[in-house]
Chains A and B, each alone.
Chain A
Amino acid sequence: MSLSKTTLTSSKYYKKLVNLLVLLVIYGIVQLLISIGILGDYYQVTLAMICINIILAVSLNLVTGFTGQFSLGHAGFMAIGAYTCAIITKSYDSPVAFIIGIFAAAVLAAIVGVLVGIPTLRLKGDYLAIATLGLAEIIRILILNFDDFTGGARGLGSIPQYTNWTWLYLFTISTIIIIKNFIDSSLGRACISIREDEIASESVGINLTKYKVLAFVIGAFFAGIAGALYASYFYYIKPDLFNFMKSIDILVIVVLGGMGSLSGSILAAILLALISSYLQSFAELRMVIYAILLLLIMIFRPQGLMGTKEFSLSKILRKKQTSHENSAS
């Protein structure tokens, strides 16, 4: 009895160790390729977009996929994060200010998320989508009109660049881990039950507004981080970057990857970035091919690439092990 228990806990640690090792190896390989110069500037920009899109898609997946609240306002939170971090790092140009900027961006986006979420999350379906879309547009128009801080339509230029592969990777991985742990917790299960059936979950004592707002605020928090990383990587931001289409882009990643699958969102973010960078050589036809590909994927996999399944390294290892044992015996 005690023996099986110790092997169980040791295998748990072993699994975590393997996962950690894989993450470190991926980080090391990419860092090595960047420092040697094999991965040029072009690939680095694609890599940064992939990381930022993963953060956005995973956080939107928590709201849309797991809690079932159809939100079209994710770009608004990203805009808040981007402008907060940009203004802070432009006023105090130092690495410490960058870190403070990221957290200020995340916290400010979360605060706006609370203020926005409490009134609008009473709505359902299309109404919620339109209301969140409207709020994102209001945020964008306000940024456009506060010329003194934000530069208005001209945008905000010469933002000091602090975001590099290390920061991007760190924040992407921690976003995924935090949201994964949230979903596996009792709070996350309450959110999933809201997605399945609102009335049933309310009747077993789940406070609908509380959990919806909680998921929404966590989503907004990470969207703020993604915005801050974006602003600090690309030197320049303007309100038009965070318009309605940006929200749709994020939603496309979530739906394509599968609503309710974090690994699906990650896979879709990587796939879409690769497709759109590969199609650069087709110039005018690029958006047409992109749209056709999306249509084809949605026709043949209506539930998204991963459905609600998750990719798990330890599960694959275990499967291999058992098949080996089977073939050996």
Chain B
Amino acid sequence: MGMLPGLKAFVAAVFGGIGIIPGALIGGITIGVVETMVSGYASSLYKDAVAFAILILVLLIKPSGLLGKNTREKV
């Protein structure tokens, strides 16, 4: 119970960039709209899969998130 919304909140945070509050806002809105669009135009069964697909795409293309900045790793 409540596991899925928690994970989706994490997805939204990663989408905007961890540690950036405007990013979390953008991420939350995007995830919500995309989920609703998918349930409306495709199938509501794929609703949960889409959130994770977005997460994986974001992590692959821009791992620091939409508004995140790249930090250099020091050795």
Seen from chain A, the residues whose Cβ lies within 8 Å of a Cβ on chain B are 119-120, 122-123, 127, 130-131, 133-135, 137-138, 141-142, 144-145, 199, 244
Query: In the bound complex, what is the Cα–Cα distance between A184 and B73 (angstroms)?
Result: 31
Out of A119, A130, A144, A199, name the residue touching B14 (CB < 8 Å).
A130
Q: Kindly identify which residue among B43, B46, B63 contacts A123, using a CB–CB cutoff of 8 Å.
A: B63
CB pair A134–B56 under 8 Å, yes or no, is yes
Chain A at the B interface: mostly helix, strand, loop or mixed?
A: helix
With an 8 Å Cβ cutoff, the count of chain B residues facing the other chain is: 20
Specify which chain A residues have a CB less than 8 angstroms from the CB of B63 in the assembled complex: 122-123, 127
Q: Give the chain A neighbours of B10 by CB distance below 8 A.
A: 130
Which residue of B52, B53, B63, B75 has the most chain A CB atoms within 10 A of its CB atom? Answer: B52
How far apart are the CA atoms of A137 and B48 in the complex, in Å? 8
Contact of B56 among A131, A145, A199 (CB under 8 A): A131
Q: A103–B61 Cα gap in the complex (Å)? A: 35
Which residues of B line the A interface, CB within 8 A? 3, 7, 10-11, 14, 43, 45-46, 48-49, 51-53, 55-56, 59-60, 63, 73, 75
Docked pose: A231 CA to B3 CA in angstroms: 26
How distant is the Cα of A244 from the Cα of B14 in the complex, in angstroms? 20
A1 to B40, CA, bound (A): 80
A145 touches B59 (CB 8 A): no
Q: Is the CB of A131 within 8 A of B59?
A: yes
> What's the Cα separation between A127 and B14 when bound, in Å?
9
B59 contacts A133, CB within 8 Å?
no
Residues from chain B with a CB closer than 8 A to the CB of A133 are 7, 52
> Least Cβ distance of B27 to chain A in Å?
13
Provide the residues of chain A in CB contact with B14, threshold 8 Å. Answer: 127, 130
- State whether B75 touches A199 (Cβ < 8 A): yes
Whole-angstrom distance between the alpha carbons of A145 and B49 in the complex?
Answer: 11
Sample (23) of A-B pairs whose CB atoms are under 8 Å apart: A119-B56, A122-B63, A123-B59, A130-B7, A130-B10, A130-B11, A130-B14, A131-B56, A131-B59, A133-B7, A133-B52, A134-B11, A134-B52, A134-B55, A137-B48, A137-B52, A141-B45, A142-B49, A144-B45, A145-B45, A145-B46, A199-B75, A244-B3
